[in-house]
Chain A
Amino acid sequence: MSTVDSVMAGDSSTAAYGVRRRYPGAFRRMYQGEMRLLLLRRRNLALLAVLAAVPIFIGVAVKISAPSGEDGPEFLNQVTNNGLFLVFTALTVSLPFFLPLVIGVVAGDSIAGEAGSGTLRYLLTVPVTRGRLLALKIAGVGSFTALAVATIAASGLLIGAVLFGLGQLTLLSGDTVGVLNGLARAAGVTAYVIVAVFALAAGGLFVSTLTENAIAAMAATIGIAVLSALLDAIPQLSAIHGFLLTDHWLGFGELLRTSINVGDLVRWSGLHLAYTALFLSLAYARLVTKDVTS
C-alpha cells in the first residue's frame, strides 16, 4: 500500500522530532490490530459460536429422527444421504436471520461503535485518514463476514462428515459426482454466499457512518435485510423482486446442478456487488464529510 517515502532528506532517526518517515506495510499492521480487536471481543466470538452451532443442531436432529416428506428447509431430506448437504442446509437456515444478525452487529458497530465510545476521534488524530479508516473497516468487516459464513460451512462439513459421512454427492438434477467435485461445489457455494451477504455488510458500514449509536446502527442493518425479505414476500411487488438485496441469496442452489447456469450466478453476484459498491460509496461520501463530535 505505502512505500517508504522519507519526506525529509537525512531524517534517519526513529525517535526524532520533526517530520517523520512512513514505514511500509502500515495498512497491514493496522488491519492486524483491527482483526485482533474483532476476535478478542467475546461478543463476536459468541456470535461465531452461534453460527457454528446451527449445523450441530440440524445434524443431531436429523440423526435422531430422519425427516420424512417435504417439510423443513431445502436440502434437509438429502442430509442423511450425504453429510455435505448439511453445509447447504445450514447456510439456507442461517441466511434469513442468523447471518443478517451477526453481520448487523459487527458492521453496524464498526464505525458507530468507535464514534460512540470516543475511540474514533483518537484513531482520526493518530492520524488514520478517513479514506484509510473506511478501507480498514471494509477489510475488517469483510473478513469477519467471510469468517462467519466459513464458520457455518466448516462446522456443517465437520458435523456432516462425522454423522453422515461424505460419499458420492447426488446433485439436485439426479446425477452423481465424486467427493472432490462435491467439496469444490461446497466451496463455490460458500464463496457465493460471502459475496451475497457482504452487500448487507456494506449497508451496515454505511448505516454505521450515520450515527454514534451502535445499537441503532445494528438494528438498522438487520432492518435492511428484514425489509428486503418483506418486500420479497409481497406478490404484488413481483416486478422489483429480482432487484432486492436478499432475493438471490439462496441462488447458490444453482451450483448443485449438473449444468450450472453460470450466466445467472454472475448476474446475481453482479447485483450483490452493485449493492456493495453503492453502499460503500455512500459510506465514503458520508465519512469524509462527517463532523466528529463524540
Chain B
Amino acid sequence: MSVTTNRDGGLDTAPPPAPATGVDASSDDSSPEVSSRNDLSSDVEATTEFAVRTDGLTRNFGSQVAVDAVGLRVPRGAVYGFLGPNGSGKTTTIRMLLGLLHAHSGSIELLGEPMPAALGYVLPRVGALIEGPAFHPYVSGAQNLRRLDLSDATSDPATSRRRIADALARVGLTSAAGKRYRNYSLGMKQRLGLAAALLQPRDLLVLDEPTNGLDPQGTREVRNLVRELAADGTTVLVSSHLLSEVEQVATHVGIMANGRLLRQGSLAEVLAGGAAAAVQIATPDAPVAARAAAALGLTDVRVDEDSEAVTARLGNVAVEDVAAALVTAGVRVRGIQVQRPDLEDLFVSLTGEGFDVNR
C-alpha cells in the first residue's frame, strides 16, 4: 500500500534541470554570494549550490494565475526573506515546494533533489511552518509533537522524548507542554508550530509568517532563533510581510507581487537595484558644491539655496570621494549624509502603495 520514496545506494546529485520556460529576468543565474558559514556542510551536498531552486514554476487556480513562472534561487546557508503583499503567491509557492500543491508547469529542486519525486527522501530534512500552526486541539502540545515525531520514519524513537522536550524548551513552551492545545494563546500556538519544525536538525527551514501573533519579545526570540539556526548551517526561507523584521535577519531576499518574482538576490544586490542612494550635502557654498558633485559624475544634482543644501544621486561614487572632492573645491561642508532606500521603500515602489488586495 505504501508508496514511500526510498533510495538505496549512493547519493546521486541530480543534474540541474534546464530552465524550462521564460525564467523571470530578475532571477538571473549568476551565482549569488554564499556566505562562508555554508562551508560547515562539508559533505557532497555542498556541491549543490541551492537549497531551493525552481524554474518556471507556475500554478493556476481556475483562470487566475497564482504563481507565474517563478524561478527561486535560495543559496545554501542563506536566510532568504520571501516577501510580497497578501495574495502575491508566496504561500502557493511554498505549498508547491513542499509537495502539497501540484505545479502546473516548471520544476522544483529542494536540497538538490527533484520535488515532488523525492518527497519521502528529502522532506525529513526540511522543517516547515506553513500558513500558521495547526494541531489537534483536544490533546496537549507535547502529545501533538509526539504524534508528528512518531509519524516520521527517519526519527529515532529512542530519542523522541528528549527531542520533543528540547524543541519545546527552544521555543519557551516547557511550562505549557502538558496543556491542551485548545487552551494555548495565539503566540503559544505559533511557538508550538516552530517547535514542530525543530524536532530534528534540519538542512532547510521553510517558515511562512513565523512571527504572526507573537508579542515583541517573541518576535525578537524568533529572530534570534533564525540567526542561531543559520549559524549552524541551516538554510532558512522565511516568508513575511514584516519588512523591517526580514531586513534584520535576511542575507537574501525575493520580492513577489501578483504571482511574479520581481526581484531576487542578496539583500545588498536587491537594494542596489532599487532607487539609488542619494547624498545630501549641507553647505553655505551650495552652487560650488553642486558643480563639484556634477564634475564627480553624480546625477540629478539639485541645489536648494534656502536650506543651503545640495542633493544628488550617488550612483557608484563612494561618499568619501565626494567629501574629498568637496574639500578640494574649497567647499565649506557642514554635514554630508547618505540616504539609502530601505527594503520598505523598494517594496512599495515595486508592489504599489494601495491598501487593496490585488487579486
Contacts and interface: CB of A to CB of B under 8 A. Distances in A.
Interface of A: 1-2, 5, 7-9, 14-23, 25-27, 29-30, 32-34, 36-37, 40-42, 117-119, 121-132, 134-135, 138, 288-289, 291-293
Given A118-B132, A129-B119, A293-B95, A14 B138 contact: no
B203 interface: yes
Nearest to B203: A17
Given A34-B147, A122-B130, A125-B128, 16 more contacts: A15-B200, A17-B201, A18-B43, A22-B6, A23-B155, A27-B2, A30-B150, A33-B146, A33-B151, A117-B135, A126-B151, A127-B124, A129-B3, A135-B1, A292-B101, A293-B101
A40 B139 contact: yes
20 contacts: A14-B156, A18-B43, A18-B45, A19-B125, A23-B155, A30-B151, A32-B150, A33-B147, A40-B139, A121-B130, A121-B131, A122-B135, A122-B148, A123-B151, A124-B99, A124-B100, A125-B130, A126-B148, A129-B120, A289-B102
B123 A126 contact: yes
B275 interface: no
Contacts, number: 150
A7 B201 contact: no
Contact of A23 (B5, B100, B139, B157): B157
A29 B150 contact: yes
B201 A135 contact: no
Interface of B: 1-8, 10-11, 41, 43, 45, 95, 98-102, 119-121, 123-126, 128, 130-139, 143, 146-148, 150-159, 196, 200-203, 233-234
A27 B153 CA distance: 8
Contacts of B152: 26, 126-127
Contacts of A36: 143, 147
B44 to A, nearest CB: 9
Count chain A CB atoms within 10 A of each CB in B1, B101, B126, B200 and give the residue with the most: B1
B157 A20 contact: no
A222 to B, nearest CB: 22
A292 B128 CA distance: 15
A125 B147 contact: no
Given A2-B153, A41-B138, A117-B134, A20 B125 contact: yes
Nearest to A131: B3
Given A17-B233, A18-B43, A29-B150, A7 B126 contact: no
Contacts of A17: 41, 125, 201-203, 233-234
Contacts of B2: 1, 27, 129, 131-132, 135
Contacts of A32: 150
Contact of B121 (A7, A16, A23, A37): A7
A117 B136 CA distance: 8
B102 A291 contact: yes
B206 to A, nearest CB: 9
Nearest to B9: A7
B148 A37 contact: no
A7 B120 CA distance: 12
Count chain A CB atoms within 10 A of each CB in B125, B138, B147 and give the residue with the most: B147
Contacts of B132: 118
A34 B150 CA distance: 9
Contacts of B158: 14
B131 A129 contact: no
B201 A15 contact: yes
Q: Which 5 A-B pairs have the closest CB atoms?
A: A118-B134, A131-B3, A26-B153, A33-B150, A127-B123
